[in-house]
Structure formats: C-alpha cells, structure tokens
Amino acid sequence: MAEKGMGKLVANNKKAYHEYFIEEKYETGIVLHGTEVKSLRGGKCSIKEAFIRIDNVGEVYAYGMNISPYEHGNIFNRDPLRPKKLLMHKSEIMKLTGKIAEKGYTLVPLQVYFKDGRAKMEIGLAKGKKLYDKRADIAKRDMKREAEKEFKIRNLG
C-alpha cells in the first residue's frame, strides 16, 4: 500500500487474501461516470462481493462492485452495481486470458484507490485456497503474534 505515487485508498478487499493465494497483481484504470467519481472520492465503495471477468471481445469488467449513489447526484446517478469496465493493455489481457484458462485461476479485486487524480483498481491473479490452507495461515499468524508478544515482554521486563 505504500507504493510510490499511490494516493488515497478508497476500498480494500482483505477477504481476498484469506480466500486466495495472490500470484500476480495488476493495476487497472476504471471507466466511471461523473457522480460515481464524486461518490468514490467520498469513500463510498465496496468490493467485497466483486469479481472480474474477461468477455469474448477481450475487455475486462468488474461485476458486483458497489459504488453508492452520490447524495447530490439526482438524475445523473447510475446503477450502483452496474458492471464497470477496467482499462488494461491488450498484452496483459491476453496473458491473463491464458492464465485463467488454466484450472483454478481467477481474477479478484484487491483494492480501489486514486493515483494522480485517477481512479485505479488493483486486481490479482489468484488461485483458491483449500480449508487446510486457511487454517495453516491462521496458525502461522497466531504464532507470529505470540512471538511478537513474548519479544515485547522480554525486552521491556
């Protein structure tokens, strides 16, 4: 998150790191309409239920990304759950299409943020975790937390 040039973080998908192994990350632009940008700047966005698909034409879309309607937008507000087009280079899209054809790979949204005044989404090429993988991650995190606690006690006492 402390990448150079990264601006304000709008939405983060922590659940994706729990459910999937993230193998590669890509930065994409998002095609938005006026009031959606204003709503995003206000932090009214959720990507927890969102998923990403590449259609037959080779265009990338985010489905289920909820951008709440802007309060002062009246008739200009769009459907909050409409599919949002993501902007990527053709070569990246072709590479991802090949990877997704392999068994077990999918695209998940990781975070939405502003960079140089433009809305961006970080997406990840992910492979689903099994239940025992999730348990192992939780155990590893607990062990790390215990070690840090003991280290703190040893150094202070």
Residue 39 lies in a domain: yes
Residue 34 lies in a domain: yes
Question: 126-132: which pairs have CB atoms within 8 A and are 24 or more residues apart?
Answer: 126/16, 126/20, 126/21, 126/22, 126/23, 127/20, 127/21, 127/23, 128/19, 128/20, 128/21, 128/104, 129/18, 129/19, 129/20, 129/21
Instruction: List the pLDDT tens digit at each of the 157 positions of the chain.
Output: 444 456 788 888 888 887 888 888 999 999 888 788 888 888 888 888 888 888 888 889 989 888 888 777 676 677 778 888 999 999 998 888 888 887 778 888 999 898 888 889 999 888 877 777 778 888 888 888 888 888 777 777 6
Residue 151 lies in a domain: no
Identify the domain containing residue 19 by its residue range.
9-129
Global pTM exceeds 0.75 = no
Residue 157 lies in a domain: no
Supply the CATH number for residue 104's domain.
2.40.280.10
Residue 153 lies in a domain: no
Residue 155 lies in a domain: no
The per-residue pLDDT for range 117-129, each reduced to its tens digit, is 888 999 988 887 7
